[in-house]
Structure 1
Amino acid sequence: MATVSPSFRMPAEWEPHAGTWLAWPHRTSDWPGKFGPIPWVYGEIIRTLARYETVNVIVRDADMKERAAAILKRVHADTANVKLHTIRTDRSWVRDSGPIFAYDKAGKKTALDWHFNAWAKYPDWRVDDKLPGIVAKKQGVPAVQPTYKGTRIVLEGGSIDVNGAGLLLTTEECLLSEVQQRNPALSRADYEAAFAQYLGVKRVIWLNRGIDGDDTHGHIDDLARFTSTNTIVTVVEKNEADENFAPLQENLERLKATKLTIVPLPMPSPVIFRKQRIPASYANFYIANGVVIVPTFNDPQDRHALGTLAELFPDRDVVGIHCVDLVWGLGTLHCMTQQEPK
């Protein structure tokens, strides 16, 4: 990778948070025929997170604010730790549409306002694309729009994972494929240079493909995640007849070649609804202050995934969140959250 002087550093997810950002669900077509329980799932997630840190909840309008507040009260969330912000959104997947917070050279917090175009797949993204700038203004931090070769860069938070010390995980399928192509003008070397400048990355670890049913075409946060500066968990499929077996084995071999500590994480049995396979993965966990929330799927592997992550995060509570309904929206806990560092 070419030597580039970094302007920013993206901290690891486990570094201290000022809070978590998420957006209250309102787009019924994201959970067709199954939207009813989704606000209650969000209520449970917020209730859990609010025990450990501030939760900033984006609501579309005054009516939604009232409904969200009523649900949070009924689930006994610590509302002293919950802030409701009225901001319009297209969808509620803040990991991808929200700001990625970083520190500048002086250690000042900055909101990186990457371009968002709905995974290069859906036409309605222009409201979500404004979200990082609005959040930055509310929080009183500067916003910077990353560019490369004069063009604003499209990047979703779910497509990358960092250890805060110079390493970044991503996939070729998401960033280099011509399918759902985010940045046609950018090569592998261009991405690496941009990551060096804006995220403080010295080395990019490229995996190949994502899991079956992934609407994003290869997001890393369903595949492999840093749990410390030198440890990565990666999902592995044991059933050789499963569509995920071969690509996950290839990703595992690539990770082993890094000489980092690689810990396997199981995959749940296929989650299928309306004859569609849904991207259920234990790698979509979210690390907050004092807690790691982990998606569970009423599957025997739930306890193995929770146990593995509990061993990797001995200083945090590890809490399973039932996500069989939530994952019908093609994402779970990491997809819906975005950390704001202190």
Structure 2
Amino acid sequence: VASRLSSSAPAVFHSILHPQISAAENRTNLGLARAEPRRMVKAMAGCPAKMGFRMPAEWEPHEQCWMGWPERPDNWREHAEPARKTFERTAMAISKFEPVTICASAKQYPRVHELMEHQPNIRVVEMSMNDSWFRDTGPTFITREGGSDIGLAEQTIAGIDWEFNAWGGLGGGCFDDWSLDRSIAKKIVEIERIPRFAHTMVLEGGSIHVDGEGYMHYNRRMLVES
């Protein structure tokens, strides 16, 4: 699953399922989805662990980093401008070691596209969202070695699409409308064309940490009381 890129490597986007996407396609809106004829994302049912899937440890190498672009003026100070500068530096730093996909709203897309236009290992995608914290709203990526017995590729990556309620729901969350954030995980797995497990449990990706061998650290208040 892991793919390491050296500083001397050609400008090629190493995607999960499509390992050779040109640099020009990196910077197009939904460039990955246009790279090949679109296939339907396989909706999966059942328990991923019983099918042989696991969530890799936090420290395991991975192929790609997904980021949202800050925009909200209510939970980012100074209209999110300091956050945007930090996200820009972070994306560029990560891109030295692995590909980065930045998702930006229609309003922010032209600016982000211009900022990253000459960054060959960064792809910019237009995506609507309520907030940019993809660690909590994006899919949980899981892996499986061998998949022919369940109708999947031999080496499989899938995504778990959890429910999201803006860190507390109506009256207790950060904002009252999180309808766009609920679709982020689904959109990402569709762009990558990987199998999707939909789950009704409210879970923020940042509230759990795993070691890849069956142990998980979690915040009881986030998982049990919210």
In structure 1, the partner of 2:57 is: 12
Paired with 2:134 and 2:158, the residues of 1 have a C-alpha distance of 17
- Mapped partners of 1:5, 1:165: distance in 2: 11
* Structure 1 residues 90 and 48, CA gap change in structure 2 (3 angstroms): same
What is the SS of the residue equivalent to 1:102?
strand
Structure index of larger Rg: 1
Q: Quick one: distance in 2 between partners of 1:142 and 1:6? A: 15
* Root mean square deviation, CA, Å: 2.0
For the pair 1:138 / 2:178, whether they are aligned, the reply is no
Instruction: Report the counterpart of residue 69 of structure 1 in structure 2.
Output: 113
What is the aligned partner in structure 1 of residue 142 from structure 2?
Answer: 102
The aligned length equals 165
Give the deviation of 1:32 after TM superposition.
3.4
CA contact (8 A) 1:132 1:143 kept: no
Secondary structure of the residue that 2:96 maps to in structure 1? coil
Matched residue, 1:90 = 130
**1:53 paired to 2:101:** no
Question: In the alignment, what sits opposite 1:294?
Answer: none
Cα 1:38–1:104, aligned 2, differ >3 Å: closer, same or farther?
same
1:30 aligns with 2:75: yes
Q: After the TM superposition, which parts of structure 1 deviate over 6 Å for at least 4 consecutive aligned residues?
A: none
Deviation string 1:284-305 (CA, Å, 9 cap, x unpaired) is xxxxxxxxxxxxxxxxxxxxxx
Gaps of 5+ in 2: 1-47, 148-154
Quickly say closer, same or farther: Cα 1:79–1:5, change in 2 above 3 A: closer
CA distance in structure 2 between the partners assigned to 1:13 and 1:80 by the alignment:
26
**8 A contact 1:96–1:156 mirrored in 2:** yes
Shift of 1:89: 0.5
Does the alignment pair 1:79 with 2:119?
yes
Looking at secondary structure, tell me which structure has more strand per residue: 1
Q: Equivalent residue of 2:108, what SS?
A: helix
Q: d(CA) in 2 for partners of 1:5 and 1:93? A: 26
Q: Deviations over 1:101-141 (max 9, x none)?
A: 11246341101101111112232111110111111111010
Unaligned runs of 5+ in 1: 147-151, 182-342
In structure 1, C-alpha distance between the alignment counterparts of 2:213 and 2:166, rounded to whole Å: 29
> d(CA) in 2 for partners of 1:65 and 1:175?
34
Do the aligned partners of 1:161 and 1:170 also contact (CA within 8 Å) in 2?
yes
Q: Distance in 2 between matches of 1:168 and 1:5?
A: 14
Shift in Å, 1:99? 0.6
In percent, how many aligned pairs have the same letter?
29
C-alpha displacement of 1:71: 3.3
Offset from partner CA, 1:187-243 (integer Å, 9 cap, x none): xxxxxxxxxxxxxxxxxxxxxxxxxxxxxxxxxxxxxxxxxxxxxxxxxxxxxxxxx
SS in 2 for 1:28: coil
Which structure ranks higher in relative contact order (CA pairs < 8 Å, sequence separation ≥ 6)?
2
